[in-house]
C-alpha cells in the first residue's frame, strides 16, 4: 500500500536534532525529502555522536539517526545564486522546514511571505526555541537550555539533587515529533482548502505541553510542582529494591493497588481509598520494601504482571535493546552496510506502526552534497552552470 506522503516533496533546511527529526518522520512515511546544507557550514549533527572517527568524517551517529531516506544538496543561501537555486526547488516542493534564528530567512528574502508568491500552496514550518515573536524570540537554545528554562529540570531529581536534566535529548525529539504532526495537519488542511500554511513551532511551547497537567494544577492551587525523585504520592507506584535489582511499581488506581497488596500478602493495606493510601504511605512503603527483597526483580515482574499489577524492571538501554519484545514492534531498522561509513548501523523508524503502508527506511543517510549535481540537473542546470556555482561558492 502507498505510504501517506508519497509524492510529497519536502525541503529540509534544518540542523542538529529537532528539525531534522521532523523531516525524517515525513521521510519514513514516504515523502521525498531533500536536505539542504551550507557547503562550508554543515549540519552540526554531522560531527556529533559517540564515534569520533565518524564525527571527523561528517557522518556522526547523531546525523545517522535521523537522515535515512533523504537526499543531500549543498547550497550557500548567503549567496544570491544559492538563493536562486532554492527558489527553483520551492516551485516544485510542498513543504519547507527551517530551524534557524527567528527572522533570519525573512532577512534573506526567503520568508513565508516571499516564497508563497512563488508557490501559494507551500507549507512553511519554522522551528525555534521560543517562536518567531516575543521578547526572547532571538535567543539561541538547545535541548538542555529549554529543560532548564521551562521548569522541567526543577522537577527532575530528588529534593536533594534537583535540578537535573534528563539523560536523553527528549525535548529535541518531542519538538521534532510535534513539528511532523503540525506539518501533517497542515497538509491535510491544504487538501481541503487548496492553500498553503505557515507553522511556528517553539521548543518552549512543546515543553509546556509536556508539562500540561502540572500547569493546570498550578493554575488552581498556586503550588509549584516539586522534585520527587523515584517516589510517588502513593507507595504502590514507585521504585523499590529487590533481591538483585530495582523494580518500578505502577499500581496507581484502586483496583491495581488492591491486587498488589493481595499478591504481596499485605491484605491489611488493600483498601481502595486514595485518602487512606496517602495517609499510610510510609507504612505501606516500609511493608512493600521488606516484601520485595524476598525475590529477584525478574521474578517479581513476572509474578505481578500475571496478577494484573503494573510492574517493570529498571533496565539500561542495552538491556532494553535485547528485549525480544522490541523485535515484534518493527521500531528499528538495521542498515547492514552503509558505504560512506564502511559499516552498518541501527536507526529508529517511528513510534507507531500501520497495518499497511506504514513507515519504513529505504536508503541510508547521505554524504554531504551527494545528490547536488543530480538535483541541479533536474532543474535544468548544465554541467557548466554547476561548475560556475561551485566556483562562486554557491554550492
Domains detected in the chain: 9-210+330-391 (3.40.50.10540), 239-318 (3.30.1540)
| Residue 135 confidence (pLDDT) | 96
What is the pLDDT of the chain when averaged over all its residues? 97
Residue among 78, 226, 61, 76 at smallest CA distance from 156: 226
Q: Is the pLDDT of residue 361 over 90?
A: yes
pLDDT tens by residue, 242-254: 999 999 999 999 9
Judge whether 94 counts as a catalytic residue: no
| pLDDT band, very low/low/confident/very high, at 271 (cuts 50, 70, 90) | confident
Residue among 291, 316, 303, 305 at smallest CA distance from 240: 291
Whether the Cβ atoms of residue 257 and residue 251 lie closer than 8 Å to each other: yes
| Mean pLDDT of all residues in 221-239 | 94
Residues 157, 155: Cα–Cα separation, whole Å: 7
* Catalytic residue chosen out of the listed positions 172, 336, 356, 373: 172
| pLDDT band, very low/low/confident/very high, at 124 (cuts 50, 70, 90) | very high
Residues 379, 81: Cα–Cα separation, whole Å: 14
| Residue 193 confidence (pLDDT) | 98
Q: Is the pLDDT of residue 272 over 80?
A: no
Model pTM score: 0.95
C-alpha cell at 185: 495537519
| Mean pLDDT of all residues in 173-177 | 98
pLDDT tens by residue, 59-111: 999 999 999 999 999 999 999 999 999 999 999 999 999 999 999 999 999 99
Q: Any idea what the Cα angle at residue 122 is, between residues 195 and 64, rounded to 5°?
A: 140
- By mean pLDDT, which of 51-55, 175-179, 225-229, 389-393 is the weakest? 225-229
* Percent of the residues in the chain that have a pLDDT greater than 90, as a whole number: 98
Residues 389, 166: Cα–Cα separation, whole Å: 44
| Mean pLDDT of all residues in 125-145 | 96
How many other CB atoms are found less than 10 A from the CB of residue 34? 22
Amino acid at each position: 500500500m502507498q505510504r501517506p506522503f508519497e509524492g510529497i516533496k519536502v525541503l529540509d533546511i534544518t540542523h542538529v536534532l529537532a528539525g531534522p527529526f521532523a523531516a525524517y518522520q515525513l521521510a519514513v512515511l514516504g515523502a521525498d525529502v531533500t536536505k539542504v546544507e551550507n557547503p562550508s557550514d554543515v549540519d552540526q549533527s554531522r560531527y556529533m555522536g559517540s564515534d569520533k572517527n565518524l564525527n571527523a568524517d561528517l557522518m556522526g551517529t547523531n546525523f545517522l539517526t535521523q537522515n535515512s531516506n533523504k537526499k543531500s544538496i549543498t547550497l550557500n543561501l548567503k549567496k544570491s545564486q544559492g538563493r536562486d537555486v532554492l527558489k527553483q526547488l520551492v516551485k516544485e516542493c510542498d513543504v519547507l522546514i527551517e530551524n534557524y534564528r527567528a527572522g533570519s530567512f525573512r532577512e534573506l528574502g526567503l520568508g513565508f511571505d516571499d516564497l508563497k508568491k512563488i508557490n501559494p500552496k507551500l507549507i512553511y514550518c519554522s522551528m525555534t526555541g521560543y517562536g518567531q515573536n516575543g521578547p526572547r524570540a532571538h535567543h539561541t537554545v538547545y535541548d538542555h537550555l529549554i529543560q532548564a528554562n521551562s521548569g522541567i529540570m526543577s522537577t527532575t531529581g530528588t529534593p536533594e539533587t534537583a535540578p537535573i536534566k534528563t539523560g536523553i535529548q527528549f525535548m529535541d525529539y518531542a519538538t521534532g515529533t510535534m513539528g511532523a504532526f503540525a506539518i501533517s495537519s497542515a497538509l491535510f488542511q491544504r487538501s481541503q482548502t487548496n492553500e498553503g500554511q505557515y507553522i511556528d513551532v517553539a521548543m518552549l511551547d512543546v515543553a509546556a505541553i509536556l508539562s500540561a497537567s502540572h500547569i493546570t494544577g498550578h493554575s488552581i492551587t498556586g503550588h509549584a510542582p516539586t522534585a520527587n525523585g523515584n517516589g510517588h504520592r502513593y507507595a504502590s507506584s514507585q521504585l523499590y529494591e529487590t533481591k538483585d535489582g530495582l523494580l518500578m511499581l505502577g499500581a496507581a488506581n484502586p483496583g491495581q493497588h488492591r491486587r498488589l497488596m493481595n499478591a504481596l500478602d499485605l491484605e491489611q493495606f488493600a483498601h481502595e481509598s486514595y485518602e487512606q493510601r496517602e495517609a499510610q504511605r510510609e507504612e505501606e512503603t516500609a511493608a512493600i520494601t521488606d516484601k520485595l527483597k524476598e525475590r529477584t526483580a525478574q521474578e517479581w515482574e513476572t509474578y505481578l504482571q500475571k496478577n494484573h499489577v503494573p510492574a517493570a524492571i529498571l533496565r539500561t538501554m542495552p538491556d532494553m535493546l535485547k528485549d525480544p519484545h522490541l523485535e515484534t514492534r518493527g521500531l528499528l531498522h538495521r542498515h547492514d552496510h552503509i558505504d560512506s561509513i564502511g559499516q552498518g548501523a541501527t536507526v529508529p523508524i517511528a513510534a507507531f506502526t500501520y497495518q499497511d503502508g506504514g513507515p519504513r527506511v529505504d536508503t541510508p543517510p547521505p554524504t554531504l552534497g551527494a545528490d547536488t549535481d543530480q538535483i541541479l540537473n533536474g532543474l535544468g542546470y548544465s554541467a557548466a552552470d554547476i561548475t560556475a556555482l561551485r566556483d562562486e561558492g554557491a554550492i
